[in-house]
Amino acid sequence: MNSVLASSRVAQLSPFIVMDVLEKAQAMMAQGEDIVHLEVGEPDFATPAAVKEATLKAIQEDDTHYT
């Protein structure tokens, strides 16, 4: 199997801040804290109806800009 070599520039990259948050959350979980992970990945619960309705309304009214 061929190994993949990363560019030397990869070592100069700062870690993605989300990974720092995930690491902190995992440490808190290890101490018994109840953590809801929203920092990375997908939620393990359904989207609330109010969020779906507000999203559809925003799309229909072309109110989808960030600022």
Q: What is the pLDDT of residues 3-42, one digit of tens each?
A: 777 777 877 777 788 888 889 999 999 999 999 877 777 7
For 39-64, give the DSSP string: SSS--SSPPPHHHHHHHHHHHHTT--
* Ramachandran quadrant class, 62 (left: phi over 0; alpha: psi -120 to 50; beta: rest): left
Domain boundaries, the chain: 8-60
pLDDT computed for residue 9 by the predictor: 80
pLDDT band at 52 (very low <50, low <70, confident <90, very high): very high
Q: Say what the pLDDT of residue 2 is.
A: 67
